[in-house]
Amino acid sequence: MTTLHARHPKSKRGGAIRWFMQVGWKHLLALVVIAYATFPLVYILSTSLTDMGGIENFTLFGQFYTKNYTDLLTSPDYPFLKWMTNTVTLAGITAIISVFISALAAFAFSRLRFKGRRPGLLALILIQMFPSILGLTAVYGILSKLTDYVPAIGLGTKAGLILVYLGGSLGGGTYLMYGFFNTVPRELDEAAKIDGATHTQIYFQIILRLVAPVLAVMALLSFIGTFGDYVLASIVFNTTDQYTVAVGLNLLLADPWSKNWAMFAAGAVMSSLPIVILFVSLQKYITNGLTGGAVKG
């Protein structure tokens, strides 16, 4: 091969080999990685199209039943569409509010100087390290007290759970966004100030607009986080109609009377589809969103 290469340095074949050595093999590797990254997803998609009950041996895409989907969408015991609406409402509202509030706090940390700023930032990060799942008792306690005082935001309400989610997501969100705000040049603020802008105008009309793509990504990440929560949602809600997708699908697997593996697969496919599409289409921004805090990209 090397002799070939040497004899016809500019021949098509030699170019192809060089291309393969430099770039082509990466395509092969990409195929391997794609297989690795997607086989569980392919597996669950294929499972959702079988007519089996529990976990059985089967050939990938050997069957094409849509019954699991129609069953799940029409089942009175498992109101899947209701779960989806609940989850999207919860996750959507949480995402929007948490991004807004985190951005407010991040602005203060990035642009303003005040007493307690450094300890504040540090506390923000450290408090995230508390194993929040063990704070469940306390969270439950707060919510059940609220049920007595202000039932509208107590146990069994979306508003109550949203408040809990907000409290949990603020630290991390503020920290990431703080990194981003630092990348927006301060000169912009100064220029705006000379034009007579107030701090709210600087904040809303300059900084927020500049980091808008990041805000979208933060919202998406928060959305996915809330979407995937099982534990909190399971202690706050107790009727099937109130469940989120995570709690509901768990019910599907836990049900001792039937083995619902394929039906669960159908639910998994349907509930993840919107997120996957959103995620892939926002991919370019997500890279920035994750690294912004630490890497000046």
Partner 1 sequence: MRKRNKNFELYSGGTPSLRGTLAKIFILGLVDAGVGFVLMVLFGKEKYGFAIFLGLVTLLVNWIYLRRGGLPAKYLAPGVMLLIAFQVYVVIFSGYISFTNYGALHNGSYAEALDAIQQSAVEPIEGAAEYEIKVVKAEDGSVLFLGLDFNTGKTFLGGEDYAKHPWREITAADGLVVDESGYPTSLSGVTFLTDDEIVEVDPGVTTMKIPLGPNLDTDGFIATADAFFAQQNRFSYIYDEKNKSMTRLVDNKIFPADETAGFFENKDGEILSEIGWQVRVGWSNYKKIFGDPDLRGPLSGIILWTFLFAFFSVFSTFVLGLTLALIFNDERIRGLKIYRAIFILPYAFPAFLSAYVWRGMFNTEDGFINRSILGFMGSENRIPWLEQQGPARAAVLLTNLWLGFPYMFLICTGALQAIPNDLTEAAGIDGASPWKIVKLIKLPLLLVSLAPLLIASFAYNFNNFGAVYLLTGGGPFLNPTLKVNAGATDILITFVYRIAFSGSQGADYGLASAFSVLIFILIGSISFFSFKRTKGLEELTQ
The answer to whether the beta carbons of residues 208 and 215 sit under 8 Å apart is: yes
- Distance from C-alpha of 153 to C-alpha of 157, rounded to nearest angstrom: 6
State the CB neighbour count (10 A cutoff) for residue 189. 17
Q: What are phi and psi of 200, to 5 degrees?
A: -65, -35
Q: Please give the DSSP secondary-structure letter assigned to residue 22.
A: I
For partner 1, the closer CB: 76 or 131 = 131
According to DSSP, residue 153 is labeled: G
Contact between 216 and partner 1 (CB under 8 A)?
A: no
Nearest to 279 by CA among 210, 209, 212, 222: 222
Residues 16-55 interacting with partner 1 (rule: CB under 8 A):
22-23, 26-27, 29-30, 33-34, 36-41, 43-44, 47, 55
**CB 240 → partner 1: shortest distance, Å?**
18
Interface with partner 1, residue 11, by CB under 8 A: no
Enter the tokens of residue 274: 């919107």
| 267: nearest Cα among 247, 297, 281 | 247
CB atoms within 10 A of CB 56: 11
Query: Minimum distance from CB of 119 to partner 1 (Å)?
Result: 9
Q: Mask: binding to partner 1, 162-201, rule CB under 8 A, as x and -?
A: -xx-xxx-xx--x--------------xx--x--xxxxxx
- Give the integer Cα–Cα distance in Å for 92 and 219: 8
Q: Least distance to partner 1 from the beta carbon of 75, Å?
A: 19
Site residues (CB under 8 A) for partner 1, limited to 137-156: 137-139, 141-142, 148-150
| CB of residue 145 to partner 1, shortest distance in Å | 8
> Judged by CB under 8 A, which of 16, 28, 122, 159 binds partner 1?
122
Select 3 or 59, whichever has its Cβ closest to partner 1. Answer: 59
Per CB under 8 A, the list member of 17, 96, 108, 210 interacting with partner 1 is 108
Please give the residues from 61 up to 100 whose contact with partner 1 meets the rule CB under 8 A: none
Rounded Cα distance, 131 and 135, in Å: 7
Q: What is the DSSP letter of 100?
A: H
* 264 near partner 1 (CB under 8 A): yes
Least Cβ distance, residue 7 to partner 1 (angstroms): 25
Site residues (CB under 8 A) for partner 1, limited to 277-296 = 279-280, 283, 286-288, 290-291, 293-296
DSSP conformational letter for 185: -
Closest contact distance (angstroms) between CB of 286 and partner 1 is 6
